[in-house]
Amino acid sequence: MHIPDGLMDPLVAAAGWIIALSALAVITRRLDRRMDDRRLPLMALLAAGVFVAQMINFPVGGGTSGHLVGAALAAILLGPAAGMAVMMVILAIQCLLFGDGGITALGLNFLNMGVIGCLAGYYVFRAFPVRYRNAGIFAASWLAVFLGAAACAAELAASSIISGGDFGIAPFIAFPSMMIFYAIIGVGEAIITTGILAFLAHVAPGMLDMPGARSTSGSNDKDEVAPDA
């Protein structure tokens, strides 16, 4: 879902940058107040792990593939602000070093995969009771991808309308196509994210008791409050 250069109308791309920079300003303030040095190694390793996981595309049928976005995974483990910081680092390095996603579209890519992905992933996960933790992870990670794709479709449609068809994609193609593809790709994201978190809960249960995550014990509400929420 990395938007390349030249696809979006410049006005839409600029709006993406403005929203992304505003979100970064908020994230920076929250991290300044709440960053715990003990979470640093996890944050760095998770960022690096999500980067490599994003390189693997899995087939979803019909000659289409998808890859893990990882926003819900990062937000569930670290909290939304640190999750967004992780996604910004990944997206910036993918763009600047590997040419994955255009530099003019970096703001929109961060909005779709970082901001929307982390907020949807984190708050949907937290809305589920502890005893339905895996269902919560599944729903959160699917919605994180699906809502990000919906935003991308809206950006494509807005670009097409603003530019009179010179940029973007007409709404009647952008919305159904993006929604259908990412509804399916989101299932892959949900299976992988639920699998990874179930694996981590098994081999390193403390990891799921990090401040961004819901307590595995399910008995202490204070453990469930994320400091950067």
Separation between Cα atoms, residue 38 and residue 165, nearest integer Å: 50
Binding mask 87-126 for another protein (x = CB under 8 A): --xx-xxxxxxxxx-xxx----------------------
Residue 4 carries which DSSP code? Answer: P
Binding of another protein at residue 11 (CB under 8 A)?
Answer: no
For residue 192, how many other CB atoms are within 10 A of its CB?
20
Please answer whether residues 39 and 82 qualify as being in contact, where contact means their C-beta atoms are separated by less than 8 angstroms.
yes
| Residues that contact another protein, how many (by CB under 8 A) | 77
Binding of another protein at residue 166 (CB under 8 A)?
Answer: no
Binding of another protein at residue 57 (CB under 8 A)?
Answer: yes
Please answer whether residues 106 and 15 qualify as being in contact, where contact means their C-beta atoms are separated by less than 8 angstroms.
no
Cβ 90 to another protein, closest distance in Å?
6
Binding mask 27-46 for another protein (x = CB under 8 A): -x--xxxxxxx-xxxxxxxx
Binding of another protein at residue 59 (CB under 8 A)?
Answer: yes
Separation between Cα atoms, residue 158 and residue 128, nearest integer Å: 34
Tokens for 62? 């019909």
Site for another protein in 168-187 (CB under 8 A): 169-170, 173-174, 177-178, 181-182, 185
Beta bridge partners of residue 122, listed in sequence order: none
Site for another protein in 185-204 (CB under 8 A): 185, 196, 199-200, 203-204
